[in-house]
Amino acid sequence: MIQRPKQPVEEPEEAVEKPEGRLPADDEGPGLEAPLEALLFVAREPISTKRLADMLEEDGARVKEALQRLQERYGERRGLQLVEIAGGWRLLTNPSFADAVAALAGRKAQDRLSHAALETLAIIAYRQPVSRAEIERVRGVGVGPILRTLLEIDLVKVSGREEGLGRALLYATTKAFLDRFGLKSVKDLPASLEL
C-alpha cells in the first residue's frame, strides 16, 4: 500500500455577507454602471432614475451620476446611445444606423407620419389639452381619421373633457410621443419662434 503525504487542510475562509440586492462599492467591483447598463438593455420603455435606484436599492444621486457617466461614455460616435427621454432613460441605437438596423430586423425604418398627421400632432402638442373642434379650427379641415390613427399608434390620448356644453373630449400627447421624438418632456418642444 502506497501512502501519500497528507496535504495541509486549508481552513475555509469566513464568508463575508453582503446585503442581498446591494451592489459592491466602486472599489470592490463594477459599481453601478454595469447593472444599470444591463437593466437599460432589456427595458422596453424609458425607466426613471428613481425606479432604477429602487430596483438596485441605491441612492438616487449615485444612480444619476452613474447614468451621466454612461451617457458620456457612449457619446455620439458609438452604435448605441444612452438618452434621457419621456421622463426616463433608454439605451437606443444611434439614429445614423437606423436603415441598417431596420434591415437586420427585417422591417422598414419607423413608419413616417403624413404631413396632415404631423400638423395635427403639432397642434395637439403645443395646445394640449385641446378639443377636436379646436384642432379643426386651426387646421381648417376635419381631423377625424387622422385623430383615430394618432390614438391607435399611441401618440395621442384622451386626457379629459372640456367644461361646458357638450363636454367635448380633450386630447394630449403620450409618453410614446416623447419617446418617438426624443423629448424629455413637452417643455423641450422647440419654441414657436424657432419653427
Whether residues 153 and 182 share a domain: the answer is yes
Whether residues 121 and 183 share a domain: the answer is yes
Domain boundary among 71, 105, 139: 105
What range defines the domain where residue 128 resides? Answer: 115-188
Task: Give a yes or no: residue 4 inside a domain.
Answer: no
pLDDT (0 to 100) of residue 3 = 53
User: Which CATH number goes with the domain that contains 41?
Assistant: 1.10.10.10
Task: Give a yes or no: residue 168 inside a domain.
Answer: yes
Helix H or strand E segment including 83: strand 80-85
Please give the DSSP secondary-structure letter assigned to residue 141: S
Alpha-carbon distances of 33 from 12, 29, 51, 171, rounded to whole Å: 32, 11, 15, 39
Cα 33-35-38 angle, rounded to 5 deg: 105
How does strand 130-131 pair with strand 169-173? antiparallel
Task: Give a yes or no: residue 41 inside a domain.
Answer: yes
- Number of structural domains (the chain) is 2
pLDDT in tens, the chain (195 residues): 455 555 544 544 444 343 344 444 443 345 889 999 999 999 888 899 999 999 999 999 999 999 999 989 887 788 888 888 888 898 888 888 878 887 787 655 456 788 889 999 999 999 999 999 999 999 989 888 899 989 988 899 999 998 888 888 999 999 889 888 888 888 888 876 554
Task: Give a yes or no: residue 53 inside a domain.
Answer: yes
Q: Grid coordinates in use for 92? A: 437606443
Whether residues 150 and 177 share a domain: the answer is yes
Whether residues 127 and 184 share a domain: the answer is yes
pLDDT (0 to 100) of residue 180 = 83
pTM, rounded to two decimals: 0.53
Whether residues 89 and 41 share a domain: the answer is yes
Q: Grid coordinates in use for 112? A: 413616417
Task: Give a yes or no: residue 132 inside a domain.
Answer: yes
Domain boundary among 60, 79, 105: 105
